[in-house]
Amino acid sequence: MISKSLAEYAVEVKYEDLPKEVVEFTKLCILDWYGSALAGKGEKPIQTILELVQEWGGNEQATLITGGKSSVGNACLVNAAASHIVELDDIHKSSIIHAGTVVIPAAAAVAEAYNLNGKELITAVAVGYEICYRIGEAVSPSHYYYWHNTATCGTFGSAAAAAKLLNLTVEQTMYALGNAGSQAAGLWEFIEDGANTKQLHTAKAAYNGVLAALLAKKDFTSASRILEGRRGFFNAMSEKYDSEKITKNLGKEYKIIENSFKIHASCRHTHPAMDCVQAIMKENCLSYEHIQNISILTYQTVLNITDNPNPETVYASKFSSQFCSALIALKGSASIIDYNEEILQSLEVRELMKKVTVAVDPYYENAYPEKWGAKVVITLNDGSIFCKATDYPKGDPEKPASREELIKKFKTMTLDKIWNTDEHIQAVLRLEEIDTAEWMSLALGEEQCKQTQ
């Protein structure tokens, strides 16, 4: 009973059992999510979802990151969409999931609506990460070819986090997971158009999981073997899968600490090459004008998702390995403010992009998804050659980002978005001592502060 084992696990975990390291790390995940949500809340697709949610209306149960309150469902839609759009949210390599953008808004909305405290929130987030990571690992990489794991597997994560917060029984948690799986959706096809669908995916993954859990609380039933069943998630949506990933060491480890944080403001698959380009340029004091060619050798998925020599929007540029490598060669950094319309249209970057080639290297292909690596060879006009390789992008557990780096990243992301930055940071970093509503009231306060200006 694979599905049942996850439900039993979710019910058993207690805050008191979480190692201190896990509690501290989970709070950093929440901080990183919060920064992404605040950074993204003003973007057009998020404002569009907000507009619709306001037309629909809802009881004031949970804070919208954009200001005001609405129903738990509406808060999931807005807050999950907001946290995924600036492409700076966390990622877990072996499951290929951005868990934060789905699990945390779901958990925060439920915790606020049901007056739950920070300890309960932290526990639920750790459980949500654990469950969607395990499911993602079980179906990767084959599932990922068609499906956006963050959306599909993420739905189980938001359901599990909500189920934990709602104190569901094992049976009810199975209902939540079952109806999460039967709502799991999200095709990669949108990437061809650089479309807004990506934000809809995270919005709906958070919403769907919470819907499943809230219905489960009322004993709304589901498939009991949603993962392993003959017509369940594994068989229907994955060419190959490994059920053992679900149960191996379950309850004996916390996969959330395998989480990676992003430093560059683009799709994670563009990062290994960008790190190499950045290092070659810096270490050898090179100027982009002398570059004849940038050759990237990496794993197949990089090509599937980011082989785009001509991105037309700033958003699409974050999914173009050609653009991202050219940008960092040109500017030396690729933070949220480095991606803009001006640089995208500049002759310098357009010329440099033409010199970037991306190809598969069997070494990296075989190592993926455990390692997300790349080798970059830069050839200058004078014929000189520079090479750099990495098995991991910066921010991975193997090349970790420090607490201080993440606080700095939060500050950069929220630079012109919030007033009392330190208060927000402190609220998250002492979340185990406060109620979820107290943290969320800061976001509400910011909006009121702004409106009275």
Residues contributing to the site for a second copy (CB under 8 A): 45, 48-49, 51-52, 55-59, 61, 71-74, 145-147, 175, 178-179, 181-193, 195-197, 200-201, 204, 208, 211-212, 214-215, 218-226, 229-233, 235-236
Answer for the pair 21, 183: CB distance below 8 angstroms, yes or no: no
Dist CA 230 CA 221 (whole Å): 18
Tokens linked to 94: 């072996």
Dist CA 382 CA 223 (whole Å): 64
Q: How far is the CB of 69 from a second copy (least distance, A)?
A: 11
Q: Give phi and psi for 385, each to the nearest 5.
A: -125, 135
Is the CB of 41 or the CB of 355 nearer to a second copy? 41
Q: Give phi and psi for 321, each to the nearest 5.
A: -60, -35
Is the CB of 86 or the CB of 214 nearer to a second copy? 214
Query: CB-based contacts of 243: which residues, under 8 Å, 6+ apart?
Result: 2, 138, 227, 228, 234
Is the CB of 145 or the CB of 419 nearer to a second copy? 145
Across 80-111, b (16+ Cβ under 10 Å) vs e yields: bbbbbbbbbbbbbbbbbbbbbbbbbbbbbbbb
Closest by alpha carbon to 391, among 411, 404, 380, 375? Answer: 375
Tokens linked to 289: 């004008």
Closest by alpha carbon to 381, among 292, 446, 318, 251? Answer: 292
Q: How far is the CB of 110 from a second copy (least distance, A)?
A: 12
Q: How far is the CB of 199 from a second copy (least distance, A)?
A: 9
Q: How far is the CB of 71 from a second copy (least distance, A)?
A: 4
Q: How far is the CB of 313 from a second copy (least distance, A)?
A: 10
Q: How far is the CB of 144 from a second copy (least distance, A)?
A: 10
Is the CB of 27 or the CB of 217 nearer to a second copy? 217
Is the CB of 219 or the CB of 370 nearer to a second copy? 219
Q: How far is the CB of 61 from a second copy (least distance, A)?
A: 7
Is the CB of 299 or the CB of 392 nearer to a second copy? 299
Tokens linked to 184: 């799991």
Is the CB of 161 or the CB of 256 nearer to a second copy? 161
Cα angle for residues 411, 281, 271 (degrees, 5° grid)? 55
Q: How far is the CB of 221 from a second copy (least distance, A)?
A: 4
Dist CA 247 CA 226 (whole Å): 15
- 57 torsion bin: left (phi>0), alpha (psi -120 to 50), beta (else): left
Q: How far is the CB of 248 from a second copy (least distance, A)?
A: 23
Does residue 369 have a cis bond before it (omega within 30 degrees)? Answer: yes
Is the CB of 194 or the CB of 393 nearer to a second copy? 194
Is the CB of 170 or the CB of 389 nearer to a second copy? 170
Is the CB of 91 or the CB of 223 nearer to a second copy? 223
Answer for the pair 35, 86: CB distance below 8 angstroms, yes or no: no
Closest by alpha carbon to 259, among 432, 125, 115, 138? Answer: 125
Torsion sign (Cα): 239, 244, 245, 246: positive
Q: How far is the CB of 17 from a second copy (least distance, A)?
A: 31
